[in-house]
Amino acid sequence: MKVALFIPCYIDQFYPQVGIATLQLLEKLGCEVAFPLQQTCCGQPMANSGFASLSKGCDINFVENFSGFDYIVAPSGSCVLHVKEHLKDESHPEEAKKIRNSIYELTEFLTDVLKVETINTRFPHKVGLHNSCHGQRGLALSSMTERMLPEFSKPEQLLSMVKGIQLSKPKRNDECCGFGGTFCVFEEAVSVKMGKDRIKEHDANEIEYITGGDTSCLMHLEGILKRQGSKVKTIHIAEILNSSL
Amino acid sequence: MKTTHAALAEKFIADEPRTDWHDETLWFVREKRDKAAHGLPEWEQLREWGSQIKNHTLSNLYNYLKEFEEKAVANGIKVHWAADGDEHNKIIHEIIRKHNIQKIVKSKSMLTEECHLNEYLQEHGIEVVDTDLGERIVQFRKEPPSHIVLPAIHLKKEDVSATFHEHLGTEKGNNDPQYLTEAARQHLRDKFVQSQLAITGVNFAVAETGGFVVCTNEGNADMGAHTAPVHIACMGFEKIIPKAEHLSVFLRLLARSATGQPITTYSSHFHKPRPNQEMHIVLVDNGRSRQLGREDFRNSLKCIRCAACFNTCPVYRRSGGHSYHTAVAGPIGSILNPNLDMKANADLPFASTLCGSCTNVCPVKINIHEQLWKWRQVIAAEGYVATSKKIGMKGMDFLLSKPKVYRFAGKMGRWMIRIVPFVVNNKLNVWYKQREMPEPPKESFRDWYLKNGKTNKK
Amino acid sequence: MSAREKILNTIAINQPELTALPLIDRNALIRYEDVYAQFKTVLESIGGKVELVQDITELKEQLIADKASGNFVVNTIAALGDVDDQVVSFTASELEKLEKAYIKGTVGVAENGAVWIYESQMVNRLLPFICQHLIVVIDKKDIVPTMHQAYDSIDVAKEGFGAFIAGPSKTADIEQSLVIGAHGARSATIYVIE
């Protein structure tokens, strides 16, 4: 199984440990992982700001880097959703289509493709799970409180395999944290208020960590936590799943 | 400078306890909606039926509107067509003038808000009394409604008490909702009994019967419509549905989605005027036929105005309806209003994190968050975003689409910190105002990978 | 060109290709073991009162007592006694003092507690709305599970007006606090005849 690792730009630049954990985890689980070296960004920041027309360069570069793999895996629901919904390459439409259909967010890759049932890992901490919207509602990584359908959660399924973890959910289990891409600066006041409200609900559970599948949401929450002087840390789900492998 | 959602929201949030209260109050409505929907095993099927009936209706709108008109006229109703808000207002004004009407009561109609009917009539010296309790409250305060179902949801009972003390002479400081509602009841009963004209909205109009349905909890639409010698019902033409049996689907969806009630108290079906009563229907376009032609946006016309998307929207709950500076606020307003005036409402599709909750609660399955994304593309293409933002985006593209440039900028450290303020054209770093920046690591993932990636394998 | 032509022409050009209406699969609908019990539970949860009566004649005494109280009470049900036909032409100011109205309903809906009432049953359209207290009488056999069956058993266009009424008038426009008795009836009692 040839798996290409897609590490979104902000993870590459700011959170290399998330990329490392993802790579190590996939390799431990038996994947042959390639990291295409000329990759940059999926183009989402421009597209979500109304400039999808300007993300052509990113699209072309993405197709160049990620053609020819069985699977493409990334530790970000948001970037994966963007590629799935919007990747286009006029000169290589077939390749672009294949990528759109074979790109996976990390947790869904573990539960649906690798069908992981046990993970030998320990993380003896109180952890609150943040459901990121693009992963949850966009990629259907878990059931949604708005929909009247059976309950499930791919991230929770994986976290329940971790020894020693005490997992808790905030009162509003799938409310947005307010990151929202460039929303976080163009609508700064609402963005921060939303983040503060998420943190308040996690605080009520007396947790040590907030985890999730999207580093962007975690970066936003981390920024607020640090400003508050909170002891609560953020950690990507890949880091927990890889913690003592 | 233009007042944008972001600026108005910031003002709203400045009072944090009140923002929390507003958020909690609307979340409570969302929870009631969840409970009501959970009560029906066929809920998701019902949404699908609702969606399909509306899709079908939009695809056969020409015939259904003609059928409706024909049947309504045969029922003795006078049918008017208005191409825009101004025509709508003039039609109503003309009826008022013809009958020399002085006393007018109006039940809730978001269409008349959209057309600014009250302001229009006021300019011509005619007073309209809004009779929905929430609307009467905001009317006293000279404010627009902040929510299409709960017009005064931005106000606390202390605010209402002060307003009623001033306008209705209620006891100062008596904040009891029961007492305040009773005062409004007495005040408005007088208005109903004296009314010469009742204006109502329309929730659904039935093509096969030429009738229309008005839903209220208070009974104010009925109190007016069955009293006044003239009744004018105003509707956007998308309120049409093919058959009476389809009402079952929509009445099951509407109140559950709106407030978590199994049905509104009154679902009144009007088909003919009373003896000696005059009944009018004004069918309004006001941009709707244009929206019908926009493939990406036409299904916004399926909306039944339940406001479930308002109540679930984390941005709406924390910014209040007035921050949307339009008659219809919230997520649905943000995809309807750019069609009415793209330039004035260019900010609205950006007042969302695209979390998708709105789409999930919509009883007729409008893909609201996807349309928000698409409006952003249209608005940017039409040039209605700040030039600085456009330059910033071009800069980002330059940086992010070229691997070497990207890596060089990364090495320079903190490229994001450099870009972000650049994008918003602000000397201050907006992120940093209330959030710390991530600490830049020693090396990027790629640098680490080149050193350790290959040898990491067993 | 008139507004009508302008609107219809634009719609003709802009409307999408015809799509099909869905088939409403009645097997997908919720079923209740006891539609009366469901009707009562729901209606009471939204502020209404429900009482089971063996025979409509049981209500006769109540009507007589109500009328004797000196309050303005109107009966529109022949099976209960004389019908107050004269209210058909009453104006709002005449009906404003109406304390109580007895009205027959056609169908009750278990899922939401609503009762369909035709204009002919109201006698005057204003009656069920302007009265302080509303009494509705329905037959137990006329309670159906959902709105789908309800619309099957009525003809909405048969008369000039008709309404589903579910409980008393209410509002929650002040801070979402529920207040019963906004503009319409302050109470709604449904007598279900066995």
Which residue does chain B place closest to A200, by CA atoms? B20
pLDDT at B338 over 80: yes
Alpha-carbon distance of A201 to A171, in angstroms, equals 6
Instruction: Assess if residue A95 is contained within a domain.
Output: yes
Determine the pLDDT at residue B458: 40
Query: Do B131 and B275 belong together in one domain?
Result: yes
How close does chain A come to B264, measured CA to CA in Å?
A: 21
Subunits next to C (3 or more Cβ pairs <8 Å) are: B
End residue of a domain, out of A84, A113, A142: A113
Quickly state the pLDDT bin for B426 (edges 50, 70, 90). low
Taking an 8 Å cut-off on Cβ atoms, the answer to whether B66 and C177 are in contact is no
Instruction: Assess if residue B291 is contained within a domain.
Output: no
Mutate to test the interface with A, among B5, B401, B455 (most CBs of A within 10 A): B401
What tokens were used for B383? 């040039």
Determine the pLDDT at residue B427: 52
Alpha-carbon distance of B413 to B111, in angstroms, equals 53
Instruction: Assess if residue A169 is contained within a domain.
Output: yes
Which residue does chain B place closest to A189, by CA atoms? B10
Flag whether A touches C (3+ CB pairs, 8 A cutoff). no
Instruction: Assess if residue B45 is contained within a domain.
Output: no
Q: Which helix (H) or strand (E) holds C164?
A: strand C161-165
Query: Do A145 and A171 belong together in one domain?
Result: yes
pLDDT at C76 over 60: yes
Alpha-carbon distance of A238 to A22, in angstroms, equals 5
Instruction: Assess if residue B338 is contained within a domain.
Output: yes
Please list, residue by residue across C21-35, b when 16 or more beta carbons sit within 10 angstroms of its beta carbon and e when fewer do: ebebeeeebbebeeb
How close does chain C come to B125, measured CA to CA in Å?
A: 26
Q: Does B181 touch chain C (CB under 8 A)?
A: yes
3-state per-residue secondary structure call for chain A: CEEEECCCHHHHHHCHHHHHHHHHHHHHCCCEEECCCCCCCCCHHHHHCCCHHHHHHHHHHHHHHHCCCCEEEECCHHHHHHHHHHCCCCCCHHHHHHHHHHEEEHHHHHHHHCCCCCCCCECCCEEEEECCHHHHHHHCCECCCCCCCCCCEHHHHHHCCCECCEEECCCCCCCCCCCCCCHHHHCHHHHHHHHHHHHHHHHHCCCCEEEECCHHHHHHHHHHHHHHCCCCEEEEHHHHHCCCC
**Mean pLDDT confidence for B294-303:** 97
**Mean pLDDT confidence for B355-363:** 98
Query: Do A100 and A137 belong together in one domain?
Result: no
Taking an 8 Å cut-off on Cβ atoms, the answer to whether B269 and C163 are in contact is yes
Secondary structure of residue B5 in the 3-state scheme: helix
Q: Does B129 touch chain A (CB under 8 A)?
A: no
Query: Do A109 and A75 belong together in one domain?
Result: yes
Nearest to B223 among C130, C152, C167 (CB): C130
Instruction: Assess if residue A120 is contained within a domain.
Output: no
Q: Does A49 touch chain B (CB under 8 A)?
A: yes
Nearest to B401 among A61, A181, A220 (CB): A61
Nearest to B449 among A9, A35, A60 (CB): A35
Give residues 129 to 148 of A whose Cβ lies within 8 Å of B: 133-134, 137-138, 144-148
pLDDT in tens, B128-143: 999 999 999 999 999 9
How close does chain C come to B435, measured CA to CA in Å?
A: 33
Q: Give residue A236's domain range.
A: 126-241
pLDDT in tens, C86-125: 999 999 999 999 999 999 999 999 999 999 999 999 999 9
Query: Do B89 and B222 belong together in one domain?
Result: yes
End-to-end CA distance of chain B: 62
User: Among B421, B338, B344, B320, which Cα is nearest to B2's?
Assistant: B344
Determine the pLDDT at residue B429: 75
Mutate to test the interface with B, among A187, A191, A197, A219 (most CBs of B within 10 A): A187
Q: So what's the ipTM on this one? A: 0.98
Supply the CATH number for residue B166's domain.
3.40.50.10420
Q: Does A203 touch chain B (CB under 8 A)?
A: no
Alpha-carbon distance of A171 to A191, in angstroms, equals 19
Alpha-carbon distance of C146 to C111, in angstroms, equals 5
Strands C115-118, C161-165: pairing is antiparallel
The answer to whether B134 touches B148, Cβ cutoff 8 Å, is no
End residue of a domain, out of A113, A135, A152: A113
Query: Do B2 and B149 belong together in one domain?
Result: no
Taking an 8 Å cut-off on Cβ atoms, the answer to whether C126 and B209 are in contact is no
How close does chain A come to B377, measured CA to CA in Å?
A: 4
**Mean pLDDT confidence for C154-180:** 96
Q: Domains (ranges, CATH) in chain C?
A: 33-193 (3.40.50.10420)
The answer to whether B270 touches B225, Cβ cutoff 8 Å, is yes
Instruction: Assess if residue A10 is contained within a domain.
Output: yes
**Total Cβ atoms within 10 A of residue C123:** 22
Secondary structure of residue B41 in the 3-state scheme: coil
Query: Do B124 and B6 belong together in one domain?
Result: no
**Mean pLDDT confidence for A107-114:** 98
Q: Does B25 touch chain C (CB under 8 A)?
A: yes
End residue of a domain, out of B286, B302, B327: B286
Instruction: Assess if residue B44 is contained within a domain.
Output: no
Give residues 10 to 29 of B whose Cβ lies within 8 Å of A: 10, 13, 16, 19-20, 23, 27
Give residues 354 to 383 of B whose Cβ lies within 8 Å of C: none
Going from the C-alpha of B318 to that of each of A191, A194, B19, the distances in angstroms are 10, 8, 6
Query: Do B408 and B361 belong together in one domain?
Result: no
Instruction: Assess if residue A33 is contained within a domain.
Output: yes
Beta bridge partners of A34: A4
Taking an 8 Å cut-off on Cβ atoms, the answer to whether B352 and A183 are in contact is yes
Taking an 8 Å cut-off on Cβ atoms, the answer to whether A24 and B456 are in contact is yes
Determine the pLDDT at residue B424: 47
Give residues 76 to 115 of A whose Cβ lies within 8 Å of B: none
pLDDT at B415 over 90: no
Q: Give residue B319's domain range.
A: 1-39+310-385
Query: Do A106 and A202 belong together in one domain?
Result: no
Determine the pLDDT at residue B33: 98
Which residue does chain A place closest to B34, by CA atoms? A146
Determine the pLDDT at residue B2: 61
Sheet strands (E) in B61-196: 78-82, 104-106, 128-130
Instruction: Assess if residue B239 is contained within a domain.
Output: yes
Query: Do B105 and B247 belong together in one domain?
Result: yes
**B58 or A55, higher pLDDT:** B58
The answer to whether B353 touches A138, Cβ cutoff 8 Å, is no
How close does chain A come to B424, measured CA to CA in Å?
A: 7
Alpha-carbon distance of B300 to B294, in angstroms, equals 10
The answer to whether B310 touches B23, Cβ cutoff 8 Å, is no
End residue of a domain, out of B329, B363, B385: B385
pLDDT at B456 over 70: no
**Residues of chain C with C-beta less than 8 angstroms from the C-beta of B77:** none
Taking an 8 Å cut-off on Cβ atoms, the answer to whether C3 and B81 are in contact is yes
How close does chain B come to C188, measured CA to CA in Å?
A: 10
Query: Do B111 and B202 belong together in one domain?
Result: yes
What tokens were used for B211? 């009738």
Alpha-carbon distance of B200 to B111, in angstroms, equals 10
Please list, residue by residue across A66-97, b when 16 or more beta carbons sit within 10 angstroms of its beta carbon and e when fewer do: bbebebbbbbbbbbbbbbbebbbbeebeebbe
How close does chain A come to B435, measured CA to CA in Å?
A: 4
Going from the C-alpha of B262 to that of each of A31, A161, B85, B255, C166, the distances in angstroms are 52, 41, 33, 6, 9
Nearest to C167 among B189, B192, B265 (CB): B265
Mutate to test the interface with B, among C1, C11, C94, C121 (most CBs of B within 10 A): C11
Instruction: Assess if residue B324 is contained within a domain.
Output: yes
Query: Do A168 and A219 belong together in one domain?
Result: yes
Taking an 8 Å cut-off on Cβ atoms, the answer to whether B285 and C7 are in contact is yes
Alpha-carbon distance of B227 to B57, in angstroms, equals 33
Taking an 8 Å cut-off on Cβ atoms, the answer to whether A43 and B400 are in contact is yes
What tokens were used for B236? 């956007």
**Residues of chain B with C-beta less than 8 angstroms from the C-beta of A84:** none
Query: Do A210 and A107 belong together in one domain?
Result: no
Query: Do A83 and A141 belong together in one domain?
Result: no
pLDDT in tens, B50-108: 999 999 999 999 999 999 999 999 999 999 999 999 999 999 999 999 999 999 999 99
What tokens were used for A44? 């989402």
Instruction: Assess if residue A118 is contained within a domain.
Output: no
Nearest to B410 among A13, A52, A147 (CB): A13
Nearest to C16 among B59, B223, B247 (CB): B59
Query: Do A134 and A237 belong together in one domain?
Result: yes
User: Among B304, B309, B303, which Cα is nearest to B358's?
Assistant: B309
**Mean pLDDT confidence for B114-131:** 97
Query: Do B410 and B380 belong together in one domain?
Result: no
pLDDT at B422 over 80: no
**Total Cβ atoms within 10 A of residue B98:** 10
Instruction: Assess if residue A121 is contained within a domain.
Output: no
Query: Do A77 and A170 belong together in one domain?
Result: no
Taking an 8 Å cut-off on Cβ atoms, the answer to whether C3 and B209 are in contact is no
End residue of a domain, out of A65, A82, A113: A113
pTM of the model: 0.96
**B453 or A245, higher pLDDT:** B453
Instruction: Assess if residue A91 is contained within a domain.
Output: yes
Alpha-carbon distance of B355 to A133, in angstroms, equals 5
Q: Which helix (H) or strand (E) holds B248?
A: helix B246-258
Query: Do B18 and B79 belong together in one domain?
Result: no
**Alpha helices, H only, B259-295:** 288-292
Q: How many domains does chain B have?
A: 3
Which residue does chain B place closest to A219, by CA atoms? B438
Determine the pLDDT at residue B423: 46
Query: Do B319 and B356 belong together in one domain?
Result: yes
Mean pLDDT taken over chain C: 97
**Residues of chain B with C-beta less than 8 angstroms from the C-beta of C6:** 83, 285
How close does chain C come to B273, measured CA to CA in Å?
A: 7
Beta bridge partners of A220: none
Query: Do A106 and A143 belong together in one domain?
Result: no
Instruction: Assess if residue B302 is contained within a domain.
Output: no
Query: Do A106 and A138 belong together in one domain?
Result: no
Supply the CATH number for residue A216's domain.
3.40.50
Subunits next to B (3 or more Cβ pairs <8 Å) are: A, C
pLDDT at B359 over 60: yes
Q: How many domains does chain A have?
A: 2
Taking an 8 Å cut-off on Cβ atoms, the answer to whether C16 and B153 are in contact is no
Secondary structure of residue B144 in the 3-state scheme: coil
User: Among A84, A68, A137, A139, which Cα is nearest to A107's?
Assistant: A139
Taking an 8 Å cut-off on Cβ atoms, the answer to whether B52 and C152 are in contact is no
